[in-house]
Structure 1
Amino acid sequence: MSATNNEAAEDTLDRAAARAVRARSLGLLGDLLRPHGRRLAWSAVLVVASTLGQVAGPALVAATIDHALPALDDGRSGPLVSYGVLMVVAAVAAGLANGAYVRAAAVISQAVLLELRRRVFRQTQRLSLEFHESYTSGRIISRQTSDLEALRELLDGGLTGVVSSVLTMVFTAVGLALVDWRSGAVLLVAMVPAWLLTRWFQKRSQVFYRRQRTASARLIVKFVETMTGMRAVQAFRREATTEREYGRYAEDYREANLDTFSLNGRYQPGLVLIGNLTVVAALGYGGWRALNGDLPVGVLVAALLYVKRFFQPIQQVGMFYNSFQSASAALEKLSGLLAEEPTVVEPVSPTPLPDARGDVRLDHVTFRYGSGPVVLPSLDLHIPAGQTVALVGTTGAGKSTLAKLVTRFYDATAGSVLLDDVDVRDLATPDLRRAVVMVTQEAYLFSGSVRDNIALGRPGAAQADIEAAARAVGAHDFIVAMPEGYDTDVNKRGGRVSAGQRQLLSFARAFLANPAVLVLDEATSSLDIPGERLVQRGLKTLLAGRTAIIIAHRLSTVAIADRVLVMEHGRVVEDGTPAELVAADGRYARLHAAWRDSLV
């Protein structure tokens, strides 16, 4: 009994969660459409006018057959001309209104998609590093590509078609009822199997299209991950394995598409069959009445036209439901992404810090990643302004975590990180990013010129300042040796330069930004020994008077530090100058001795 109650409770929670997701998605769609209220109203007027013009046709045909033709037989051509003119006017008005409606709907859909693309891009930049470290780039690319494409298909074609189709069905049913209510009753009876078939289709297509969207996203994620890690794939000869894995995802996607097409292959012929049988029934019943003189021939023709026309839009509605299910699943994913909140939030009333000195203090800082184990247990640390501090220790000691807290990529779980006695959580992001700059071992370069990459942290910097920063870190000589010097395009991710040169360019970028605090996280890992020595000379000059936190396994980089902190399990276990710690014969002394032996 308890297990049954638990299952019932879980089902209730699942339904509540599904309702919440749908409400969130519809809320997003409503928010996107709200600014276009007037244009939507005008589109509604146009589609009504277009549909009325189309539905008027069969009624005018009935009047022509039953009234204009007998009048012509009596020598009066006026009624035939009048009804002919009305048919032309109705057809032209319907065509013009439909064209204007399609254009207006296209303007709305493109405006909605543009705003949604901007929101997704803005949101992905707004979210904290914690989100990006858990949410793969492939999933984000899937949001910006396949999911937005599904919405585009819905808004560009499906939505305009379904609105017109639904109105056509409604107005056609009303027109048939006005022309001959008995034929309308035949149509009403036929609607029962059509409705049952459509409901069957809707329930299954919802499942199939969700599976299709999931399979599509997995395929994109796998492709992006493989292309991003192509060096590792080729270095370890994993081509065959990745090809098999990609093939498996592609096969899942193929099967999901086949299931969807198979469903459509049963639904659409079913509707066609019901529609044709209804026309046969209407013709048999109406023909019998016409033979008995109970139904004018013109009304019979109009009734058949209305019945035939009624079932054509149902197929369009069914096709729209395909697009709707695909777009609905995409909208749920997009609304979920947009509903994410950054874990590092902007302060409501930020404390201004226009000219930071660079005094850094960690006051009883405790930190854990999410619900994981504690990484930093109550860490106290003070780094005076202008001091260069090196952090050393084994992998997982907490060095990079400390750097992420100082740069506020993460917020402390407990305690405070202070810059010039101001909690970094109280600093506006522009002030913090101007005061604290981090250079990582990744050394990412964007497509564009060398100049643009160096000036990333200070857009609009003068050429002389850019060259001065490059000279300071030893990058100027290899830059001027490139084909177009500072105007050379480094290509995507810096493909035209070596790993060490990328690192030097990232140094030049950081130094041009002129921060009060500079954090170097394994930033010399890509440099060879001559390059490292060159950078160290630049660092000695450029770190003068600036607070610096250097994280490095290479102890040659540590030699320029005023102070060394040895970390273990998130705690500082040794603190002193390099010379003092070597003489103390502790952990740093052993690390130093091992490093010296490795050089030999």
Structure 2
Amino acid sequence: MTFGPSTRRLIRRLDPERPKILAVIGLAVTSVVFAVIGPKILGHATDLIFSGVVGRQLPAGTTTEQAVEAARSSGNGNFADMLARMGVIPGQGIDFGALGTILVWALGLYVAASAFGWLQGYLLNDVTQRTVFRLRSDVEDKLNRLPLRFFDGQPRGELLSRVTNDIDNVSQTLQQTLSQLLTSLLTVVGVLAMMFVISPLLAVIALVTIPLSMVVTGLVAKRSQKLFVAQWANTGTLNAHIEEAFTGHELVKVFGRGPEVEQVFGERNEALFKASFGAQFISGIIMPMMMFIGNLNYVAIAVVGGVRVATGSMTLGDVQAFIQYSRQFTQPLTQVASMANLLQSGVASAERVFELLDAEEQAPDPAEPLLPTARRGRVEFEHVSFRYDAEQPLIEDLSLVADPGHTIAIVGPTGAGKTTLVNLIMRFYELDAGRITLDGVDITAMRRDDLRSNIGMVLQDTWLFGGTIRDNIAYGNPRATDEQIHAAARATFVDRFVRTLPDGYDTVIDDEGGNVSAGEKQLLTIARAFLANPSLLILDEATSSVDTRTEVLVQHAMAALRTDRTSFVIAHRLSTIRDADLILVMEAGSIVEHGTHEELLAARGAYHRLYSAQFSGALVSAGDEVAEG
């Protein structure tokens, strides 16, 4: 969308490699100089051959001046001019010694040009890959500094496309364009200089192609640029849809939405096809148009050069060299023009990566962080206010205290702000007002890593990675011994089902946990949190996938592990939080009731209504079914 600024920003990322770039430029200049001198030397070889062939046909013993005068007197003025220009020696054939020397020099120059060109390519490849390496590292670091709010608003497939496809495209663009662009521009300058040395007139004719080429390239690039932007935007959209469909593959099958998913895929794939085809087709027109202009230039030079040889204004070798130079002159221009599509594609991808790098980051950690003097797990909310949307209030002026060793249960209808409450404790989001303290220290005065190292969190959506069961449990504490891992597994009743597996704790599970049940996955995540030995436990519907018997066992295990540990439990099944020290009932971001299970039932308020809806309603429904039966 902003081709110039984005291109300059991409080039600025090469700054750390400046010494190598200077070496690349030096090697490229040397290679091009040797390459452009070659045709001029070969032109001398052509002159030697031509002089030898013509000289052998002239009578020996006469001088060059006599041969020229004889040709002029016989009416062959053009031939006389050619003889005078070529320096033909009558009666003398081809000087193969001089010819061999010239050819050896030409061969040496081309070999040297190739060697320097190879070194230039090697260094430039190192520059490009190191630049892309830093770009990937910067993106990875940026992702770690972005707030959760950013990821909530980004489809994962779109984000993955920026991190993988777009960076790969930038790498390919830098790799293919930098070397060709540098060599092509230097070749144009070097060849143009040699052309002016040989014949200013023919050089001016060759120069006519430059403005014509620029006009053609500009007109085509202007039309293809927006199509390249659309191409990579549609690539990200399509990847997001594919990732979403694959992740929810079971649901797609269960609800029979396969045809709809295929239809959406077809529409987005068609949009990507049209943008890609249009971008490549329009930009691909540049190459044949440039070749056509180059051929016109070649014809003009051949005609004018032939006339000048016939009139004795130029030697045949100079015309031959000039024709070679004209090819060398138009070829890099054609290459530069043909790189327009690749360059536009790369810059479009770079823009998408830069958008990610420019995203608003979370507030930085304090320069002088504080730490609690003792890890007890006391959490206090002081007049906390928070909104996801500035226009829509969620949590307003909330105050509460969670004492060490207490279990705080948070209940309420969907959207009441229960999960938001624990997200604020973790600093996944920043407060709009008020503050939260952990063991007397404001959490904003702590490093996020220090804060989260004191907290163990188990979510309703379990997450496992590809590896062994031992590795997945040890994720909570990488330094844990096997005995500590086994102890955590026994405490959370993971050990009993792991023992039934053929490989035990060395059983490999995939990142989706496909070879263990949903309840077993949840137990593994609970064991992981326990192994971390945090001072604060956050359980967000942590037993939702566990059967009733296992849930009771896990509740007993958690009760044993709650010593000197504060627990926040978000629960929809109220039977799981009857023993909580404090139950908070939330509605619309506010705590409308608080107390123990018995106190809240006796108050016959919001908690009583929730409890009745779960249990009384279920009993009534069951009674109705019996009556109907």
TM-score between both structures, scaled by the size of structure 2: 0.89
Distance in 1 between the 2:524 and 2:144 partners? 23
Tell me, yes or no, if structure 1 residue 46 matches structure 2 residue 27.
yes
Q: Percent identity?
A: 35
Distance in 2 between the 1:183 and 1:256 partners? 42
Choose the corresponding residue for 2:503, options 473, 484, 495: 484
The equivalences for 1:491-506 within 5 A come to 491-506=510-525
Choose the corresponding residue for 1:129, options 137, 148, 156: 148
SS of corresponding position for 2:509: coil
Choose the corresponding residue for 1:390, options 409, 429, 432: 409
Tell me, yes or no, if structure 1 residue 62 matches structure 2 residue 43.
yes
Instruction: List per-residue Cα deviations over 1:108-155 (Å, max 9, x = no partner).
Output: 111122222222222222212111111221111101221012112112
The equivalences for 1:53-452 within 5 A come to 53-67=34-48, 70=51, 74=92, 76-353=95-372, 355-452=374-471
- Asked whether the equivalents of residues 427 and 448 of structure 2 are also in contact (C-alpha less than 8 Å), the reply is no
SS of corresponding position for 2:475: helix
Tell me which residue corresponds to 1:27.
Answer: 9
Distance in 2 between the 1:431 and 1:514 partners? 14
- Asked whether the equivalents of residues 344 and 410 of structure 1 are also in contact (C-alpha less than 8 Å), the reply is no
Distance in 1 between the 2:255 and 2:536 partners? 39
Distance in 2 between the 1:473 and 1:243 partners? 42
SS of corresponding position for 2:583: strand
SS of corresponding position for 1:437: strand
Moved more, 22-31 or 318-327: 22-31
Q: Deviation of residue 28 (structure 1)?
A: 5.3
Instruction: List per-residue Cα deviations over 1:171-191 (Å, max 9, x = no partner).
Output: 111111111111101111232
User: In structure 1, what residue type is equivalent to 2:8?
Assistant: L
Tell me which residue corresponds to 2:67.
Answer: none
Distance in 1 between the 2:433 and 2:296 partners? 73
Instruction: List per-residue Cα deviations over 1:241-265 (Å, max 9, x = no partner).
Output: 1111111111111112221232144
Structure 2, unmatched stretches of 5+, are 56-91, 620-629
SS of corresponding position for 2:394: strand
Tell me which residue corresponds to 1:596.
Answer: 615
- Asked whether the equivalents of residues 383 and 434 of structure 2 are also in contact (C-alpha less than 8 Å), the reply is yes
SS of corresponding position for 2:457: strand
Tell me which residue corresponds to 2:491.
Answer: 472
Moved more, 458-467 or 347-356: 347-356
SS of corresponding position for 1:497: coil
- Asked whether the equivalents of residues 225 and 279 of structure 2 are also in contact (C-alpha less than 8 Å), the reply is no
- Asked whether the equivalents of residues 35 and 109 of structure 2 are also in contact (C-alpha less than 8 Å), the reply is yes
- Asked whether the equivalents of residues 6 and 347 of structure 2 are also in contact (C-alpha less than 8 Å), the reply is no
User: In structure 2, what residue type is equivalent to 1:164?
Assistant: T
Q: Deviation of residue 349 (structure 1)?
A: 1.9
Tell me which residue corresponds to 1:456.
Answer: 475
Tell me, yes or no, if structure 1 residue 523 matches structure 2 residue 504.
no
Distance in 2 between the 1:225 and 1:319 partners? 37
Distance in 2 between the 1:484 and 1:524 partners? 26
Instruction: List per-residue Cα deviations over 1:277-330 (Å, max 9, x = no partner).
Output: 111111111111211112211111111111122111122112222111111011
SS of corresponding position for 1:549: strand
SS of corresponding position for 2:416: coil
Q: Deviation of residue 205 (structure 1)?
A: 2.3
Distance in 2 between the 1:241 and 1:117 partners? 36
- Asked whether the equivalents of residues 58 and 305 of structure 1 are also in contact (C-alpha less than 8 Å), the reply is yes
- Asked whether the equivalents of residues 368 and 375 of structure 1 are also in contact (C-alpha less than 8 Å), the reply is yes
Q: Deviation of residue 483 (structure 1)?
A: 2.4
Moved more, 315-324 or 262-271: 262-271
- Asked whether the equivalents of residues 275 and 311 of structure 1 are also in contact (C-alpha less than 8 Å), the reply is yes
- Asked whether the equivalents of residues 354 and 431 of structure 1 are also in contact (C-alpha less than 8 Å), the reply is no
Q: Deviation of residue 24 (structure 1)?
A: 6.2
- Asked whether the equivalents of residues 377 and 564 of structure 2 are also in contact (C-alpha less than 8 Å), the reply is no
- Asked whether the equivalents of residues 372 and 440 of structure 2 are also in contact (C-alpha less than 8 Å), the reply is no
Q: Deviation of residue 599 (structure 1)?
A: 5.8
Moved more, 362-371 or 111-120: 111-120
Distance in 1 between the 2:483 and 2:221 partners? 66
Distance in 2 between the 1:149 and 1:471 partners? 46
Instruction: List per-residue Cα deviations over 1:450-478 (Å, max 9, x = no partner).
Output: 11111112102001111111111111111
Larger Rg: 2
